[in-house]
């Protein structure tokens, strides 16, 4: 049995090594299509618009990138958990999907410079009256599985000795909001941008944005295969130019309804 398993694993490895790396930048240009992965249940970064087409800040970045490369764009809808497998399997060339740039993850995948900074925040029913993050202690809390805010919440809960009995993981961002809406959990952790978007909808009239996750800026980058350094270099320059050429501010304006805050621009210019 072990021999059989070994054969299967070896076969996978062999298939993987066959498409030995032509440089990704060349591959994309020669192919004439950029396969750009975006998480489309994370408004306003990625979502489906009324015409059921991909839209959002990240989708605009995909379009901008394809334009400067001179290729067509193919936006692929990913879940949080699909981001890395899609890169490794070669389904995507780059994932513009609000990926937090932890050093642990950077051992597995190549990160660009930061392209956005989020705050993690609590959203809960107004009746819960949450003043500080510590008020979550005796409440049922949820978050989307495999996100950095899940990790941050669990780390905080462990530090405070809250345990994980009150915690529920949801498969996706949408499911987390559905769970909150149905009352399965009292509060969820999400990003400030997504919460602001959700609070504009009628369904969430009875909810309010609560405290931020203490001491944490969620700095996110684009990700690509770790080995594709030339491609990552190109992406880095692309991000620099997005700010310098004003595309970043334009996309921000379109999706957040105001100019990009000066401190956000500055922290991106400082790469932190």
The residues of the shown chain that bind another protein, judged by CB under 8 A, are: 5, 9, 13, 16-17, 19-21, 80-81, 84-85, 88, 102, 104-105, 107-109, 142, 145-147, 150-151, 168-171, 175, 178-179, 182-184, 225, 227
- Minimum distance of another protein from residue 95's CB (angstroms): 11
Among residues 46 and 179, whose Cβ is nearest to another protein?
179
Among residues 107 and 159, whose Cβ is nearest to another protein?
107
- Minimum distance of another protein from residue 103's CB (angstroms): 10
- Minimum distance of another protein from residue 201's CB (angstroms): 17
Structure tokens at 72: 């067509």
Closest CA to 170 of 161, 182, 162, 160: 182
- Minimum distance of another protein from residue 56's CB (angstroms): 21
Among residues 151 and 267, whose Cβ is nearest to another protein?
151
Among residues 154 and 237, whose Cβ is nearest to another protein?
154
- Minimum distance of another protein from residue 115's CB (angstroms): 18
Among residues 140 and 241, whose Cβ is nearest to another protein?
140
Supply angle C-alpha 257, 260, 261, rounded to 5: 120
- Minimum distance of another protein from residue 157's CB (angstroms): 14
DSSP the chain: -HHHHHHHHHHHHHHHHHS----HHHHHHHHTEEEEEEETTBTTTBEE-TTS-EESHHHHHHHHHHHHHTSEEEEEEE-GGGHHHHHHTTS-SEEEEEEE--HHHHTTSEEEEEEEEEEEEEEEEGGG---SGGGGGGS-EEEETT-HHHHHHHHHHHHHT--STTEEEESSHHHHHHHHHHTSSSEEEEEHHHHHHHHTSGGGTTEEEEEEEEEEEEEEEEEE-TT-HHHHHHHHHHHHHHHHTTHHHHHHHHHHSSPPPHHHHHHHHTT-
- Minimum distance of another protein from residue 168's CB (angstroms): 5
Cα–Cα distance between 11 and 4 in angstroms, integer? 11
């Amino acid at each position: 049995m072990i021999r059989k398993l070994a054969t299967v694993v070896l076969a996978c490895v062999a298939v993987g090594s066959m498409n030995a790396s032509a440089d990704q930048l060349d591959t994309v240009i020669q192919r004439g299509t950029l396969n750009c992965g975006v998480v489309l249940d994370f408004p306003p970064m990625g979502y489906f618009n009324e015409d059921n087409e991909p839209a959002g800040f990240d989708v605009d970045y995909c379009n901008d990138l394809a334009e400067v490369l001179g290729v067509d764009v193919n936006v692929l809808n990913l879940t949080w958990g699909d981001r890395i497998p899609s890169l490794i399997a070669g389904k995507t060339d780059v994932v513009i999907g609000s990926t937090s740039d932890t050093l642990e993850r950077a051992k597995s995948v190549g990160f660009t410079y930061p392209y956005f900074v989020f705050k993690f925040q609590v959203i809960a029913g107004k009746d819960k009256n949450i003043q500080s993050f510590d008020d979550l202690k005796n409440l049922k809390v949820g978050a989307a599985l495999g996100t950095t805010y899940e990790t941050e919440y669990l780390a905080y809960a462990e530090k405070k000795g809250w345990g994980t009995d009150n915690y529920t993981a949801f498969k996706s961002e949408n499911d987390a909001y559905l769970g909150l809406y149905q009352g399965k959990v009292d509060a969820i952790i999400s990003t400030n941008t997504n919460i602001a978007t959700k609070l504009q909808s009628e369904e969430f009239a009875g909810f309010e944005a609560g405290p931020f996750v203490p001491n944490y800026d969620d700095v996110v980058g684009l990700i690509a295969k770790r080995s594709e350094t030339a491609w990552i270099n190109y992406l880095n320059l692309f991000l620099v130019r997005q700010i310098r050429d004003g595309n970043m501010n334009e996309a921000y304006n379109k999706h957040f309804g105001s100019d990009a805050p000066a401190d956000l621009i500055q922290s991106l210019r400082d790469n932190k």
